[in-house]
Amino acid sequence: MATRTEIDRLGDAAFIATGGLYILVGDDFVQIAAGNIDRPEIRQRLLRAGEIVLDNRPDAMTGR
């Protein structure tokens, strides 16, 4: 069974748990859903997707 894994390098706070990747940036919250998060390749895809989202986020998510 999947457990919550904290991710230090994304946003202000981030973790992988049931349902996918959750990222907090300022007052905004992003969820990227995925299938079986127990699979390492799925976790890697989630992390890469999170990086892409943060690299391409609108100004509303940057707080600027």
Task: Output the average pLDDT for the chain.
Answer: 88
How many domains does one find in the chain? 1
Cross-strand pairs, 6:
15
27 lies in which domain range?
5-62
CA 12 centroid distance within chain: 11
Question: In the block, which residue shows the tokens 């986020």?
Answer: 57
If pLDDT is split at 50, 70 and 90, which confidence band does 2 have? low
The Cα angle at residue 29 between residues 51 and 34, in degrees rounded to 5: 60
Cross-strand pairs, 5:
16
pLDDT at 61 over 60: no
pTM: 0.83
